[in-house]
Structure 1
Amino acid sequence: MMFSLIIILMLVLFIPFFSNTVARNLEAFLFLMGTATVLISQVYDSTLLIKVFNDPLKITFAVLIAGFIFKWFQTPIKKIILGLSKAMPLRLFLALTVITLGLVSSVITAIIAAIVLVTIVSVLHLDRKSEVRLVVLACYSIGLGAVLTPIGEPLSTIATSKLNEDFFYLLQLIGPNVIPGVILFGLLAAVLIKPSKKINQSFKTHRTESNLDIIIRSFKVYLFVMALTLLGAGFEPFIEKYLLNLSPLVLYWINMISAVLDNATLAAAEISPSMDNSTIQAILLGLLVSGGMLIPGNIPNIIAAGKLSITSIEWARFAVPIGLITMVAYFIVIITIA
């Protein structure tokens, strides 16, 4: 059984990285792999089925409603952004943008926060280097902040569900670490991004999403979380055998592989109710920070980079050094509080 689970784990980790077809249909691929794991582990029962269908409901509903609201009010939102960017120094506006998106992403979801980010970038007349830096720093902030509630992103949905905890569990567990990180990324935006004296009066054009686009995206989120729930349940025997006894500090650095993989996938495979809070904290912080280093590591990265045509090299040139420095900083925090 363990050998089969290891094979599936390798497929989950690497096939999406090498196959464009799988990467474009990641939700369906993970659902098939998740189904295979629960069959191999023989953990399927009525309780799991109920959990699989119920877990994705909150985040899917949040994505659906927020998607329609943003579409309906897109023009007023753009006008508000334009007005605010003119009413204050640009460095202050950039800092507040990164901080605000990070904090509200746990309510409006990381996906909608990324779409708002793209809209803001379309209003500002930044040079390419500054534009990439703003997007990277904001996506780091969104990736951190969205985990504070179960509706913020798939990782937080999966973590809360697997641990059988309440709505505010993650806020209490890693909020004291995450919120200062969100503020720090905002300050970095104010320092590292070159202000421009010009503001784009006409917005950059992006294809307006249709109602069908919003519904399809919501369904993909539902299928994605469903797949991760199956993966988490199926990999439970593997976790108990190989990961539970590892040092939290080792797990923290192992999770740097989430730079090339969606961090929710790894959370589904690694987190277990048998782990203590310090181990869970180390796992989550490692996943959250390293998930911002490369485009495939997190959903906001994929959305923002795709809509703004940011290449992998452009992203990594700035995001990897920032991510490594942040990893070291959080590692020091973990050692200090351990």
Structure 2
Amino acid sequence: MPRKSVLVTGANGYIGSAVCRAFVRAGWQVFGLVRRLDAAGGLEADEITPIVGSLSDLSFLDSLFDHTKTFEVIVGCTEPPDYASHFHEAMAMFRRVAEVSNSSHVRPLVLWTSGCKDYGTTAVDGDPDLGPHTEVSPLNTPAVLSARATYSLKVLEQTDLFDATVLRPTNVFGYSSSYYGVIFEYAAKVVANGAKSLRIADVDPRSIMHAMHVDDCAEAYVALAEHGDRAAVFGQCFNISASEYETAEAVAEALAREYGLSSGAEFVAGSENSGNPSMAPALLPLLGFSQWVGSDKIRDVTGWTDRRPLFSQNLSVYRRSYEAAVRAGHEDIARIQGRQEFIKSALQNQ
């Protein structure tokens, strides 16, 4: 029996590579689109077939169709700064792949990645008005992400050649740790400066940090792709989140214990942080963007659930994994640092 095929864009990115590996584990034939030939080897090591090309030049599709002309699923896992141009180029490519698949009587399901920050923030832990963001919550997107939130929903309008679903995952951690790596970097800097406490400036300790392991996130993509009733999946949005959230205080206290800071964690005003290393630009949005994200919908529809420990519950393991990625010169480290600089610049220019 022939295996089903999936094409993943941004296959060497943090979420994209995890999604590729999850589909491999599920028995799919996985093709990963990357822009550079030197990124192909990493995909091959994970039993993923690399396709080298750019969305701005679709001539690479000839090499893709040499492998197969039918794709049951196409996954979009990229988020460049110029989101509008990227979206239009991606849709042109998706439509071409869908046309070829349609000619063999296969209608692809497109899983398009947006993010839970499309909703904006919620109240902090313990607030009487606290409630989770669900798929019916209004969008209150930060300006820096407004293009993503706007264009992601436009994929649902593409109904002639493929079915589409929008996914809104929370922040993810694990391995090279995505944006969570900056948390380790800050704690290490505090220790190097000889401090006895981990000082967190201008953050409410009750701020909700709702994140999950990247492997759990990737398994949610597979759960949607393999769901037997596509009518229950396409044309909709699905949040992906852990079953529990953490607070900035819980994460900071676990971090202080891990790094041997005898005075624990302190939450202070920025003016009280003299003598301590400055917080990295990406740390404040991580710790201070309070958001509880409900994922009952995907759990009820597909049966998916998260399995990995929360960040604070398994911090030592996640730290060692991140440090190993840094020593190995993992390309995610430089990519995330570049993304952090883009966010910092965008926030300063608002």
Scaled by the length of structure 2, the TM-score of the pair is: 0.28
User: Which structure shows the higher strand fraction?
Assistant: 2
Highest CA radius of gyration, 1 or 2? 2
Choose between structure 1 and 2: higher helix proportion: 1
Q: TM-score, normalized by length of structure 1? A: 0.29
